[in-house]
């Protein structure tokens, strides 16, 4: 059986389900109970391992007290997540979505979205880029040291 990677839309919807569940302070078990499924199934929906049918998405929207459209908000912006994303590989976009599905990624995105000043946002992006470079350099030097 061929292993097919989750569709970018399925990943987006799953991450929105997870964000809303977190906003409501619900565990996967609590949402699963409301839906009549196992927490593992909720986990699979959130990670886009299993696709969410239209009827199940409707049930999820009711359980999370939001309109179905909530799960599609910003979907048209996926290709605009970062400068040059349209020119980059789909692997890069997948990496961004995977990061946004983590607790840290969602906390970072939520905090960042609450900053209204573009200058402050720019400083945070520059800081994050510098920290990423420093982390990569440190990781590279550790690898080089272990191969000696």
* pLDDT at 91 (0 to 100): 57
Confidence class for position 63, pLDDT limits 50, 70, 90 = very high
Residue 26 has pLDDT above 80, yes or no: yes
pLDDT in tens, 87-128: 445 556 667 777 877 788 888 888 888 888 989 988 998 998
* pLDDT at 78 (0 to 100): 64
Percent of the chain at pLDDT above 90? 41
pLDDT in tens, 32-51: 999 999 999 999 999 899 99
Choose among 5, 14, 6: nearest CA to 100. 14
Say how far apart CA 46 and CA 18 lie, in whole Å. 6
DSSP 53: P
Choose among 104, 78, 107, 108: nearest CA to 92. 78
């Amino acid at each position: 059986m061929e292993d097919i990677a989750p569709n970018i839309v399925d990943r987006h919807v799953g991450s929105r389900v997870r964000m809303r569940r977190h906003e409501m302070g619900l565990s996967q078990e609590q949402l699963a109970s409301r839906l009549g499924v196992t927490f593992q199934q909720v986990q699979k929906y959130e990670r886009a391992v299993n696709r969410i049918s239209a009827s199940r998405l409707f049930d999820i929207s009711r359980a999370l007290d939001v309109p179905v459209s909530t799960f599609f908000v910003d979907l048209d912006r996926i290709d605009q997540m970062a400068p040059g994303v349209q020119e980059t590989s789909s692997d890069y976009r997948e990496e961004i979505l995977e990061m946004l599905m983590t607790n840290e990624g969602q906390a970072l995105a939520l905090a960042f979205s609450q900053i209204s000043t573009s200058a402050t946002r720019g400083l945070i992006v520059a800081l994050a880029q510098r920290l990423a470079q420093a982390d990569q350099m440190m990781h590279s030097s550790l690898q080089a040291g272990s191969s000696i």
